[in-house]
Amino acid sequence: EQGRHVVVLLDSITRMGRAFNNSRKHANSGRTMSGGLDSKALEIPRQIFGSARNTEEAGSLTIIATCLVDTGSQADQIIFEEFKGSGNMELILDRKIAERRLFPAINLAESGTRKEHLLMTEAELKTMTALRRRLLTMPPAMQVEQLLAAMKRFPTNAALVGSN
């Protein structure tokens, strides 16, 4: 709000939700949801995560947060569901791809940016859509291998998507 651009890295929003759930000051509604979460436990984490949208004219606040999934905890799943879809993009990492030592171990099928059409030209979007569709016909690890190979062949993103 003071005209500066700020990036906050939050690792993890799941652990923050757990901490607020364990706090008697912040989890005191007396109503427990499934998974053992107090109904008020996520109020402050929601406000923090949502503050990225509450900026004045100049400057910006970007929040990049991690969220634990597939932990077996119902509370963690509820926290994930609470924040899923409230960001501008989701980047899903895949343990099986990482185990093959392919980095970044991104699950391309589950990752994406909302309103990506606002970030690129129509021609770039068309090319990216075609590339994505072709990659998604392959197993996840092969998708990453093919994308990395394509990135090595082209010196810039513009060259990769044919916009230069």
pLDDT per residue, tens digit, the chain (164 aa), is 577 788 899 888 899 998 988 887 777 777 887 778 888 888 888 888 888 765 656 778 888 888 888 888 998 998 888 888 788 888 889 999 999 999 999 999 999 888 888 888 888 888 889 989 999 999 999 999 999 999 899 988 778 776 65
Fold of 1-87: Rossmann fold (3.40.50)
What contacts 158, CB < 8 A, 6 or more positions away? 124, 164
Where in the chain are all domains bearing CATH 3.40.50.300?
1-87
Q: How many helices (H) and strands (E) does the chain have?
A: 7, 4
Tell me, what's the pLDDT at 88? Answer: 84
Q: What is the pLDDT of residue 35?
A: 79
Note the pLDDT of residue 121: 86
Spatial contact of 36 and 21, defined as CB atoms under 8 Å apart: yes
DSSP-assigned beta bridge partners for residue 113 = 89
CA distance 3 to 5: 7
pLDDT of residue 52: 77
Q: Where are the alpha helices (DSSP H) in the chain?
A: 13-22, 43-50, 74-83, 95-99, 122-135, 140-153, 157-160
DSSP β-ladder status, 112-113 and 5-10 = unpaired
